[in-house]
Amino acid sequence: MNYIADFHIHSLFSNDSEERLENIIEQAKAKGVKEICFTEHVDYGVKFDHDDPEHPNVDSTQRNVDYPLYMKTLTQLQQDYKDELTIRIGLEFGMQRHRIDTYQKLYDRLDLDFVILSCHEIDDKEFWTYDYQKGKDEDEMSMGYYEELYTLVNSYKDYSILGHLDHLERYIPNHYPFEKSKDIITKILKIVIADGKGIEVNTSSFAYKLPDLTPAREILELYYELGGTIITLGSDAHTANRVADHFEEVATILKEIGFSQYCTFEKMKPIFHAL
């Protein structure tokens, strides 16, 4: 790759990471990464804001980002490392249809470079705890997930890319056949493309030893066939050692599909770089 950028990274500002930002930055530099974007978790409905007056005693693992401290810290790090590494400020919105207004208010008050639109829970039931999956067969699980994504991309527009598009694959017993979900995935991708948004390749698939990329190669091929051009690479790292994990391998696969560029973002605008 002619330009290496990791646009999906979590630090101790996310409830599920304890990694110091400086460790991530130093690892990125050591790997020759030119640009990174921190994308800390926001999951309204299953987590609470750091200053939520109605839930003052909630454990830190149930908290969203401390937004003022996050913005202040990253702004300072941007200055500290300006001659060594480009640092962007992002968030990962774990959105649900009935929480869209809350996310919109948050977006409107922050000056962000990049927003990942993800789906980690439905009806305030999380995937990783398997609460969402209880009592559902695989058709109900998977189609419910894609229908939620379809509603989100129809209803919410202040995002940059869709995160780990077939994310639920990680949490269901068996691989859900692409042909069964192809129609609704096509509808989702057509909206994404028409809106000038993109998708990511999330290389956590290697860490979790999944049988395919995230999203699967068939989805990436479909995105390309539909005319999609905006694509980011994200490690979804929660520890410094996973920054830019398997990026060279993924770049090769993307070029095999037909992609020649990938994107970084500044102030929510895509910037294209050669793979």
Which pTM was predicted? 0.96
Average per-residue pLDDT for the chain: 95
Q: How confident is the model at residue 126 (pLDDT cuts 50, 70, 90)?
A: very high
List of residues 6+ apart from 22 with CB closer than 8 A? 77
Q: Which of 7, 5, 1 is nearest to 254 (CA)?
A: 1
User: pLDDT at position 1, please?
Assistant: 83
Mean pLDDT within 86-112: 97
Structure tokens at 199: 């998708």
The predicted model gives 9-38 an average pLDDT of 97
Q: What pLDDT is attached to residue 58?
A: 74
Could you tell me which of 122, 128, 121 has the C-alpha nearest to residue 172?
A: 128
Mean pLDDT of 72-80: 98
Q: What is the CATH number of the domain that holds 238?
A: 3.20.20.140
Residues 6+ apart with CB under 8 A from 112: 89, 90, 91, 268
Is 35 a residue whose pLDDT tops 90? yes
CA distance linking residue 146 with residue 141, whole number of Å: 9
- In terms of Cβ atoms closer than 10 Å to its own Cβ (0-12, 13-18, 19+), residue 2 is exposed
User: Measured between alpha carbons, how far apart are the two ends of the chain, in Å?
Assistant: 5
Domains held by the chain: number: 1
Give how far Cα 206 sits from Cα of 60, 161, 246, Å. 28, 20, 8
- Whether pLDDT at 51 is above 90: no
What distance lies between CA 139 and its chain's CA centroid?
A: 24
Does 266 score more than 80 pLDDT? yes
Q: Which residues of 100-117 are buried (b: 16+ CB within 10 A; e: fewer)?
A: bebbeebbeeeebbbbbb
For residue 271, the model assigns a pLDDT of: 98
- Domain region containing 179: 5-274
Contact 36, 87 (CB under 8 A): yes
> What is the C-alpha to C-alpha distance for residues 268 and 161, in angstroms, rounded to an integer?
10
